[in-house]
Amino acid sequence: MRITLGPKEKKERRMGERLGLKGDRCAGPKCAAVRRAYPPGVHGPAGGRSRLTSFGLQLREKQKARLIYGLAERQFRNYVTKATAKRGDTGLFLGRLLELRLNNVVYRLGFARSRGEARQHVSHGHFLVNGKKVNVPSYQVRVGDTIEVRPKSTGNKFFKEAILPRLEKHDLQKWLTFDPAELKGRVIALPEEDDIPQNFNRKMIIEFYSR
């Protein structure tokens, strides 16, 4: 079961910041983390936030990353294990593994308003990778791969009304290219440090799993 099931904004309030779990809503003033900038619970604003130990800080960073990418504990631990098996910057390797998930690339290309929505689109078979249908959100995309909307899905009402109007003003990552005429994107490089979300501390996450 994915960790993102349940009230997403409640999880953002628990973390004390916007995590983009509700897509466009998170960027506006209606975001619960802004309107109610205190932890959920019966005590309301008077409850405050408890002071965290070093273990608690590491745990919070790990939980934030899991929420952002919508991963179960086992999935996330496997990514950390793969990252630590490589020589070099473990934090960068972890970030790349997360960013190169197919549902994340679909989100980065602007085909979805959130990673959760992108996951649903991929699971429903709306996308092709190098011309072949792939419906596995965790599929690892490689440099040179092409991601496009399946021809049968281009006439989908949701894509026409909710997604296509957003593509013109979408801020594309520098490691991706996009052809709006063909609804096709391509991975041209590996994500670098600045391309990976900075709202969670990857060093703390590695330390958490190294205990």
Closest by Cα among 179, 168, 173, 167 to 197: 173
pLDDT value at residue 153: 86
pLDDT digits (tens, 9 = 90+) for 36-91: 554 555 545 655 556 778 888 898 889 888 888 989 999 999 999 999 999 999 99
pLDDT value at residue 1: 43
Instruction: Pick one of 3.40.50.720, 1.10.490.10, 3.50.50.60, 1.10.1050.10 as the CATH number of 8-98+197-209.
Output: 1.10.1050.10
pLDDT value at residue 16: 54
The answer on pLDDT for 210 being more than 50 is yes
Confidence of residue 141 (pLDDT cuts 50, 70, 90): very high
Listed in order, the ranges of the chain carrying CATH 1.10.1050.10 are: 8-98+197-209
The answer on pLDDT for 96 being more than 60 is yes
Give the residue-averaged pLDDT of 93-100: 96
CATH of segment(s) 101-187: 3.10.290.10
pTM for the structure as a whole? 0.81
pLDDT digits (tens, 9 = 90+) for 147-199: 999 988 888 777 777 777 777 778 899 999 998 888 899 999 999 998 887 78
Listed in order, the ranges of the chain carrying CATH 3.10.290.10 are: 101-187
The answer on pLDDT for 98 being more than 50 is yes
